[in-house]
Chain A
């Protein structure tokens, strides 16, 4: 399957996440949309890794080309997990104070 399809799929997922971040008002849902963006990128990384591997393997069957992108995916998953732990803690902190996770609340500093 050509890599183009993977690019379209990942960009579509990424844009769904992006639109979610921009339009939803619930902090948890915004957060899920950000995770969707990150995971769309992970999918694309794996697809590119396979693409570069196939390209290199055509000349040399024992190549390791493309493996670094798979490693990158692990790093980005770890970072996403760290971000989840901090982000959920912040949302819980907010919930304890105002009993809501609505981001419309985030406008006190403007006035």
Chain B
């Protein structure tokens, strides 16, 4: 509850900061203070200490899983602020409003990780989406940014409509908005309920950019200013998956065998299309957009398997994927050239940055000793325990091999190509931050229990 209140209040405060404080450095420090407070608040939530104790029965329910996820979210956003908040200054004139929007998104993530009513799910998804539409269009004079924002908005509003229809059908079938409803033990679910479930499935797939519904993703991620792409492609996506898993575990766990094949088909399609298309991209930013689709395919394995290993794995995946992608985008945002040749010879003039980018890419590709490896391992283990998708596991491993090709192209460009004009200027603390993030990735790759033990003890 702390996080929900504090993020909303701090968001409003940042809006006032926008016209009260003109100095951008001060604005940044206010936002960082807010983020630190939010991390503290989420830890306090986890420890059972809540300042705002409002009972919301059948609406919100905080368990260890959702509270731990909120700690991960706030900590990752803090790292994101530390690495990228300086680059946000370059985008448009409304520096502190961007922070305000991000705080609102965190509030939405708090809602969708702990909902127990479809109303809260709907509100949470919207509280996440609406600020993101604005963030996508922050470069007002740039036609690409305009296009990204409008496309994101139209697609997002469209999928909201589909989600609402699904919720309504479910309500018609069950008479309640609660996610925990009783299915009759013998009676088959009504047609209304099946259609509602499918509509909810498709709209969540839209939000999580799974394959038949992914067409907006590369364009939106490409057109959005890089600093904001790194936010919307990582933490937000992980939160959507948490909601996806929660909804389908609580509401439709009993019907699992009926919809599992759809999840399997969508996972397979996402893995294939995401990885194969990423191979052909010329721009690193667009490659990362497709790679985010490919990684979504891996995260989808948790929804496919629907067991405890999947839940644990999804948390680890959220950490590994978010940290690595935020790191790469933080470097990318400082580049002028987004093609592979922009990375040429980076190791010559920025060896530390090149090293940490290598660690991020290795983690994304799932090389052992990085957190990315273990998170992929957990996903495959979950699917293995579920036992009904051996072909899916083989496909996932094959596609992870394909992904090595396009991730290693960047490493090859950094280490084995001659540098062109050095075009990179970074603050020393930026290098330090990147090294710290890559150290975190390696540490979590060796000791994943540092995160996962908190689920139980």
Contact = CB atoms under 8 A, between A and B. Distances in A.
A65 interface: yes
Contacts of B172: 3, 7, 44, 48, 51
Contacts, number: 112
A82 B126 contact: yes
Contacts of A86: 130, 133-134, 153
Given A14-B161, A109-B222, A93 B126 contact: no
Contacts of B162: 37
B361 to A, nearest CB: 24
Contact of B137 (A82, A90, A103, A105): A90
Nearest to A21: B158
A32 to B, nearest CB: 11
Contacts of B146: 90, 93-94, 97
A109 B133 contact: no
A52 B177 CA distance: 12
B31 to A, nearest CB: 22
Interface in A17-66: 17-18, 21, 27, 30-31, 34, 37-38, 40-41, 44-45, 48, 51-52, 55, 65-66
Contacts of A87: 133, 153, 157
A8 interface: no
A57 B167 CA distance: 23
A1 interface: no
Contacts of B153: 83, 86-87, 90
A110 interface: yes
B123 to A, nearest CB: 6
B249 interface: no
Given A44-B172, A103-B150, A106-B147, A83 B160 contact: yes
A36 to B, nearest CB: 9
Given A41-B164, A41-B165, A90-B133, A106 B150 contact: yes
A48 B168 contact: yes
B122 A76 contact: yes
B126 to A, nearest CB: 5
A34 B147 contact: no
A76 B165 CA distance: 11
A94 B176 CA distance: 41
A105 B160 contact: no
A75 B157 contact: no
B147 A93 contact: no
Interface string B149-192: 11101100110111011011001100111000000000000000
Nearest to B164: A41
A68 B120 CA distance: 13
Given A38-B160, A86-B153, A48 B147 contact: no
B119 interface: yes
A14 B166 CA distance: 12
A64 to B, nearest CB: 12
Interface in A76-90: 76, 79, 82-83, 86-87, 90
A24 to B, nearest CB: 11
B223 interface: yes
A51 B172 CA distance: 8
A87 B177 CA distance: 28
A79 to B, nearest CB: 5
Nearest to B132: A86
A97 B141 contact: yes
18 contacts: A38-B164, A48-B168, A51-B172, A55-B175, A76-B122, A79-B160, A87-B153, A90-B150, A91-B150, A93-B140, A93-B149, A98-B143, A103-B154, A108-B143, A109-B218, A109-B222, A109-B223, A110-B219
